[in-house]
Amino acid sequence: GTGEEDEGGTGYVTVLSTMIGLVMEV
């Protein structure tokens, strides 16, 4: 469950990465 914050201006990548991290963790 690793959510890498991407400071690219769009929070879409951050949210998506976090969601994937949570799913992978479980």
Phi, psi of 22 (to 5 degrees): -65, -40
pLDDT tens for the 26 residues of the chain, in order: 555 555 555 677 788 888 888 888 77
At 16 the pLDDT is 85
- Alpha-carbon distance 6 to 24, whole Å? 19
At 21 the pLDDT is 86
Helix (H, G, I), strand (E, B) or coil at 26: coil
At 24 the pLDDT is 85
Boundaries of every domain in the chain:
1-26
- Alpha-carbon distance 1 to 22, whole Å? 5
Please indicate, yes or no, whether the overall pTM of this predicted structure exceeds 0.75: no
Residue written as tokens 């949210």?
Answer: 15
